[in-house]
Structure 1
Amino acid sequence: MRVTVVRAHPGHHRTWPLTLTEGATVQEALIAVQASAPEALVRVAGYAVFGVRVQAGHVLRDGDRLELLEALQAEPKDARRRRAAASRGAG
């Protein structure tokens, strides 16, 4: 089965097309990516398949897009407050 692993960074992204055996898990896909690009798994905070969070034991299906997620760099509520305060100050 074919699976695409995606890692997004600010301004660019990387993809790794993989061919895995039927019934392969997220963990097996991560091992395959790490073999060719060890840096790909640095600071990974979680995984998603088409935007839905999954665990390492999740069984992948043919055509899945496995997304490697990073931790948030800012708390969303705090970032929203800072933007609102900045726009009030600019107006």
Structure 2
Amino acid sequence: MTDIEPIAVEVAYATPEKQKIVELMVEPGTSAYDAVIKSHIVNDFPEIDIENAKLGIFGNALGSKGLAPARDYVLQEGDRVEIYRPLIADPKEVRRKRAAAKKA
């Protein structure tokens, strides 16, 4: 019988005021979603809606760009799962207003 060695991963979340990176040892085959649950990061940030939060790995959103969704993405050694906050303002609208202000 062989022992399965755990892998090191991180779970990260930040607000404008505070950030936290939780280092975890997880079993191979752990999903990004499961790592977020195991990190207990919601204890520090109760506003996180884990069920609906957008997750990514090093700036690449899971469920896009050919990456599996968070519940299916199997973590690799050294991965950092990032929990993204909802946008406060629509970036297109901000650019539109900025361009209109420059013309005025």
Q: TM-score range by the shorter chain?
A: 0.7 to 0.9
Structure 1: gaps of 5 or more residues? none
Over 3 Å counting, the alpha-carbon distance change for 1:64 and 1:42 in structure 2 is: same
Would you say 1:8 and 2:14 are equivalent positions?
yes
Give how far 1:14 is off.
1.3
TM-superposition CA deviations, 1:33-74 (whole Å, max 9, x none) = 227726256146300001111122211001001100111111
**Number of residues paired by the alignment?**
89
CA distance in structure 2 between the aligned counterparts of 1:15 and 1:61, rounded to whole angstroms: 17
- Higher strand content, 1 or 2: 1
Say which SS state the counterpart of residue 24 (structure 1) adopts.
Answer: coil
Find the counterpart in structure 2 of residue 72 from structure 1.
87
TM norm structure 2: 0.71
Percent identical across equivalent pairs?
31
Q: Decide which moves more: 63-72 or 26-35.
A: 26-35
- Taking the TM superposition and a 5 Å limit, the aligned residue runs for 1:1-91 are 1-34=7-40, 37=43, 39=45, 42-43=48-49, 45-54=53-62, 55-57=69-71, 58-89=73-104
When normalised by structure 1's length, the TM-score is 0.80
The alpha carbon displacement at 1:20 in A equals 0.6
Task: Give the CA deviation at 1:86.
Answer: 2.9
C-alpha distance in structure 2 between counterparts of 1:64 and 1:52, whole Å: 11
Aligned in 2, Cα 1:84/1:67: closer, same or farther, shift over 3 Å? Answer: same
Gapped regions of structure 2 (runs ≥ 5): 1-6, 63-68
Alpha-carbon distance change, 12 to 70 in structure 1, aligned in 2, over 3 angstroms = same
Q: How many angstroms apart in 1 are the aligned matches of 2:92 and 2:26?
A: 40
